[in-house]
Amino acid sequence: MAIEAAFMVPHPPLIVPAVGRGGEKQIQKTTDAYERVADEIAKIAPETIIITSPHSIMYSDYFHISPGNGAKGSFARFNAPEVSFDEEYDEKLVEAINDIAYEENFPAGTLGERDPELDHGTMVPLWFIRNKYKGGKIVRIGLSGLGLLDHYRFGQMIQKAVADTNRRVVFVASGDLSHKLQDYGPYGFSKEGPVYDERIMDVAKRAAFDEMFDFKEDFCEKAAECGHRSFVIMAGALDGKEIKAEVYSHQDVTGVGYGIASFYPIGENDERHFRERYIAKLKESISETNHSSDAYVNLAWQSLESYILNNKVLELPKDLPSELIEKQAGAFVSIHKSGRLRGCIGTILPTTSCVAEEIIQNAISASTRDSRFNPISPEEIPDLEINVDVLSDPEPIDSPEYLDVKKYGVIVSSGHKRGLLLPDLDGVTSVAQQISIARQKGGISENEPISLQRFEVIRHI
């Protein structure tokens, strides 16, 4: 068995008559298309309905799958408590998705349930479906703050779990389009809004799922879209399938975009493994680009790319300059994207056999383990800049007068707490500011006594 069909649908609560109280008539075209979706799902009579919702539990670095044997919900917060749901979860399919994610060391599962009640992104599709079809369990899945390729990959795992459990499944990707389509809308107007809607509906019409990766994060933010990641998970769940696609409707009369489309698998197509093709294209593009003539920075790039694209720790290259192999030192790898910090982690003292190993390890940490940021995703790589700072041995000093923000970095210590700040950073113009920031990084309050160390760096860009 497999995914029989997938549907892209919106979730405006006002479309439910008890909520809209007549207001739903302004989106009658969307209602009619939704009724068609419900009719088709009833005809398929799936064993399980998978619903991805932007309004389910969402984490920045984790995909949440609702646990347990079921959940209830109603439109009480929209003044319609009489419209309620009591849904049973497909625990076996949830377990299969969990197992695959665990085996692939992928951040998805049933941990972190904060509110078991069904969300409106799940209930609006169910309102239409349950009016026509009472059967089938559900699986409810939230989105994450991770990249689009991770969402697509999660969809691939869902496809595998469906096959492993021999389920007949319908996939419902719940999500509104842009929220900034009209000046009179609740979120105002942005020129990116209509462009987003036009692009995503064209993608849906052609089932051109590979083009979903081309929607840049800043563009999606300006368009205030809601469902893009939901649609990308759906695309991943249809990976490798020839698709018969049809757009049923698109409306923007409320200032929010509502699009409805269907996607029916009609066979296999090896040309539609879009994530693998995207990464292969990305690798080819990267191999043609000389990131830097500096051996230190090139090594950091190689390490980052090997880990993010292949999930492999880079082996020590054989053609490195002797200074990288013969010397030990602490090193920091700093990553920027569009001029803003994207990750920075390093070591004050050497922890490996040579500077090269230090850079390899710290490039991985800076790109995937900096707690201030989500892990860097493959699609971000072309927009990154990297520099490497190699540190001298720290030197104790008795007074801040021995510091110079341009020349020296500082280490501030108080007991077991320690904070470090590199030299010559944008926006750091005084020693007092440098020490204050280092205190903050180390969790050291202004009234705690401190000792100071300074160090120099050789910066490679």
Q: Which two tokens stand for residue 197?
A: 């809607």
| Percent of the chain whose predicted confidence (pLDDT) is above 90 | 92
Lowest model confidence (mean pLDDT) among 175-184, 291-300, 301-310: 291-300
In the predicted model, is pLDDT for residue 292 greater than 80? Answer: no
With a CB cutoff of 8 Å and minimum separation 6, the contacts of 293 are none
Under 8 Å between Cβ of 88 and 69: yes
- Please tell me whether residue 204 adopts helix, strand or coil conformation: helix
Band of residue 138 on the pLDDT scale cut at 50, 70, 90:
very high
Q: Token pair 């020693």 is at which residue?
A: 431
pTM for this prediction:
0.86
What band does 286 get if pLDDT is binned at 50, 70 and 90?
confident
Question: Is residue 109 predicted with pLDDT exceeding 70?
Answer: yes
Instruction: Identify the pLDDT of residue 332.
Output: 96
* Residue keyed to tokens 């309620």: 84
Dump pLDDT digits (tens) for 48-83: 999 999 999 999 999 999 999 999 999 999 999 999
Least confident of 51-55, 112-116, 164-168, 445-449: 112-116
**Which token pair is 27?**
């989106």
User: Above 70 in pLDDT, residue 176?
Assistant: yes
419 pLDDT higher than 90 = yes
Contacts of 95 (CB under 8 A, 6+ apart): none
CB 391 within 8 A of CB 408: no
pLDDT at 248 over 70: yes
**What amino acid occupies position 339?**
G
CA 277 to chain centre: 19
Confidence band (pLDDT; 50, 70, 90) for 321?
A: very high
pLDDT for residue 285: 78
Q: How confident is the model at residue 290 (pLDDT cuts 50, 70, 90)?
A: low
Stretch 303-324: mean pLDDT, rounded? 93
State the Cα angle at 285 between 283 and 291, rounded to 5°.
95
Average pLDDT over residues 315-332: 95
Q: How far apart are CA 185 and CA 258, in angstroms?
A: 13
Taken as a whole, the chain contains a residue count of: 461
Give mean pLDDT, residues 211-231.
Answer: 96
Fold type of domain 293-460: Glycoprotein, Type 4 Pilin (3.30.700)
- Dihedral Cα 361, 364, 365, 371, nearest 10 deg: 180
Q: What is the layout of strands, in order, in the sheet containing 451-455?
A: 395-397, 451-455, 409-414, 417-421
**Closest alpha carbon to 36 in 138, 128, 105:** 128
Q: Would you place residue 274 in the very low, low, confident or very high pLDDT band (cuts 50, 70, 90)? A: very high
Measured CA to CA in angstroms, residue 114 lies from 22, 69, 167 at distances of: 34, 16, 28
What distance in Å separates the CA atoms of residue 105 and residue 56, rounded to the nearest whole number?
23
pLDDT beyond 90 at 283: no
124 neighbors 34 (Cβ within 8 angstroms): no
Q: What is the mean pLDDT of residues 18-37?
A: 97
Q: pLDDT at position 310, please? A: 86
Exposure string over 242-252, b if 16+ CB within 10 A, otherwise e: ebebebbbbbb
User: 3-state SS string over 96-141?
Assistant: HHHHHHHHCCCCEECCCCCCCCCCHHHHHHHHHHHCCCCCCEEEEE
Predicted confidence at residue 293, as pLDDT, reads: 78
In the structure, what pLDDT confidence band is assigned to residue 311 with cuts at 50, 70 and 90? confident
| CATH code 3.40.830.10 for 3-276 | yes
Q: Which residues contact 103 (CB under 8 A, 6 or more apart)?
A: none
Q: Where are the domains of the chain?
A: 3-276, 293-460
pLDDT-derived band of residue 284, with 50, 70 and 90 as boundaries? confident
